[in-house]
């Protein structure tokens, strides 16, 4: 079963939400001294990536398409391995994810589990068995049991992907903008396949976080918004009676 391979990539390939990015910042922000004066766009991007990587927690939200399917993602994670979030596909598949450090839990509706089974090449009988076994219950996954799902609650893995997947070479700086009330510098990267990636970086000399990433054109247009930096994530593990572990699930599938 595959929930998603890379949460960071899931977020960044979501569809553009243009309403969240307005033109230029207003009032005092507009008149404020430029904290990036004298820096190239690439240098600003490097500072933004380094600052965001150093955060002890953050929230990622995005809406759009991944693997050809529309999806909405809302996910929070901290450095202690605590996480919580949700994803929703246009075809009706929805799932919640929570993690407590040593175990991740996923709870999906029937459409989600049937879609997951189909992607993994499960037979119709196996898919039926999986859907029935997990109906209204959480799938419990010990850390390290599944590299893909374990990465959901691994802040280091997420920021590593962020660093590797952030194209900084050849960036140019555009007009400043406003992202959810925060003044931001815009950094633009033109791709060789018709895509344009725009980074919105907080105009903050001390904490120039990445606030939003927007990609237009190309095969995977999308948007991702970051927030709640350094805000701890609080979750409660589901009761044992509401969970199914991997061993139980595999026995169910083998018997089907």
Mean pLDDT by 10 residues, the chain (256 residues): 41 34 38 88 95 96 76 92 90 89 88 72 75 89 59 83 84 96 95 88 96 86 92 92 85 69
Quote the domain boundaries for residue 152.
7-255
162 φ, ψ to 5°? -60, -45
Q: Supply the CATH number for residue 44's domain.
A: 2.50.20.20
Question: Could you tell me if residue 2 is inside a domain?
Answer: no
What single-letter DSSP state applies at residue 153? G
In a domain? residue 187 = yes
Quick check: is 72 in a domain?
yes
Whether residue 129 is contained in a domain is answered as yes
Give how many domains the chain has, as a whole number.
1
Rounded Cα–Cα distance for residues 256 and 252 (Å) = 6
**Among 244, 225, 251, which Cα is nearest to 72's?**
225
Cα–Cα dist 206/150, whole Å: 32
Residue 174, pLDDT score: 95
Which pLDDT does position 163 carry in this prediction?
Answer: 86
- What pLDDT is stored for residue 4 in this prediction? 37
């Amino acid at each position: 079963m595959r929930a998603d391979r890379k949460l960071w990539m899931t977020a960044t390939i979501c569809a553009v939400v243009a309403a969240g990015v307005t033109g230029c910042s207003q009032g005092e922000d507009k008149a404020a001294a430029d904290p990036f004066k004298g820096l190239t766009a690439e240098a600003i991007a490097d500072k933004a990536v380094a600052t965001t990587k150093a955060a002890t927690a953050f929230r990622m939200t995005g809406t759009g398409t991944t693997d050809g399917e529309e999806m909405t993602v809302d996910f929070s994670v901290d450095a202690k391995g605590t996480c919580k979030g949700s994803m929703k596909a246009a075809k009706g598949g929805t799932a919640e994810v929570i993690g407590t450090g040593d175990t991740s839990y996923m709870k999906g509706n029937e459409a989600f589990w049937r879609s997951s089974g189909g992607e993994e090449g499960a037979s119709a009988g196996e898919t039926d068995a999986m859907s029935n076994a997990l109906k209204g219950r959480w799938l419990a996954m010990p850390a390290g049991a599944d590299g893909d799902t374990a990465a959901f609650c691994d802040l280091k893995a997420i920021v590593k992907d962020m660093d590797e997947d952030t194209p900084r070479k050849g960036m140019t700086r555009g007009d400043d903008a406003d992202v959810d009330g925060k003044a931001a510098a815009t950094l633009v990267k033109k791709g060789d396949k018709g895509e344009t990636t725009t980074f919105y970086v907080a105009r903050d000399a001390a904490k120039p976080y990445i606030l939003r990433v927007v990609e237009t054109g190309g095969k995977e247009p999308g948007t991702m918004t970051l927030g709640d930096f350094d805000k701890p994530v609080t979750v409660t593990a589901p009761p044992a009676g509401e969970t199914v572990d991997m061993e139980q699930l595999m026995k169910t599938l083998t018997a089907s």
